[in-house]
Structures are given as C-alpha cells and as structure tokens.
Amino acid sequence: MAHTFGSLVLLATTTALVSCGGADDDPGEPSAGPASTPTATPIMIMTQIEGFTGQVLDGSVLAGEPFCTGGTVQHEHGSPAIGFPAVNVFSCAEGELQIAFGPGPGQMNNATQTSDWKVIEGSGAFEGATGNGHMSVTFESVGSIKGAETFEGTVTLP
C-alpha cells in the first residue's frame, strides 16, 4: 500500500510540473521566467548648441554607457499642453529621445539658465521611455545663441 501511495504522489507531482509548461516550451531550454521590471537609470546629456541645433557631446552617458555618440540635438517649441516651452529632440543611431524643458521668463536675461525636464516621447531604443531631471544651459554671454547644455536625471527604458 505504501508503494501505491508513493507512486500516486510521484504521478501527481509529475503531472503538476508538466502542466506548468506551455505547448511550445522546449524541454532543453529554461523558461524565460517572469518579466523583469524596468529600472530607472542615470542619464547625463551634454550638448553644444548654436541657435536651434547642436551636437551631443562625448561624455554623455545613459546607465554608465555612452549615450547618443555622434548624435545631434534639435531645439523645438513646446506648449502649455506638455507644461514646458521647449523640447530638445536628440537624434541618435539607436532612435530619438524627446525631452521637454524650459527656463522661466525670469531667467531669459541670464547667461546661465536652469529648468526641470521630462521625457515626452521616444522612438527606436527609446520608445516608451520615461524620465525626468534637471538641466542647465550656459550661453557664451547674455543674449548669445551659442551655449552648452547639461541634462541630468534618470530614464526608465521598457
């Protein structure tokens, strides 16, 4: 009787384990397991701008890796709907990342201006990205169109 009970337990356990696998599972491959939760990673983007265009500078990083090497930045107008007066579109080999920001009107006569920022859109490797942080831009002089921007914060990629 003990032998029969043990066989039933073994049969029930085997049936339960087999029923957990999908019809397409390869018995030689481990299952993917639960999906991982995206994690916010540090980002620092440095640009050199002149007017509404510029270059992403070496030293820009996302999660400790080079970000947008050889990329460009295009400055576009924001809107009240997104809560920021300006948008930078970073065009990279991996895709585009759009960050909304905007120093307030009280800073327009300063050579250095600061603002909060947030990711509003992404494509390619940046599709579905979210994030935010703080930025600063330092112009050559008050009223100059040449300057250097730095965006620091965190970005979460799906």
pLDDT digits (tens, 9 = 90+) for 106-158: 998 999 999 999 999 999 999 999 999 999 999 999 999 999 999 999 999 99
Kindly report, residue by residue over 59-95, the tens digit of the pLDDT. Answer: 999 999 999 999 999 999 999 999 999 999 999 999 9
Number of structural domains in the chain: 1
**Within a domain: residue 126?**
yes
Q: Whole-model pTM?
A: 0.77
The answer to whether position 26 is within a domain reads: no
The helix/strand/coil state of 40 is: strand
Phi, psi of 14 (to 5 degrees): -65, -45
pLDDT in tens, 12-42: 333 333 344 444 444 555 545 566 788 999 9
Domain with 145 in it: 40-156
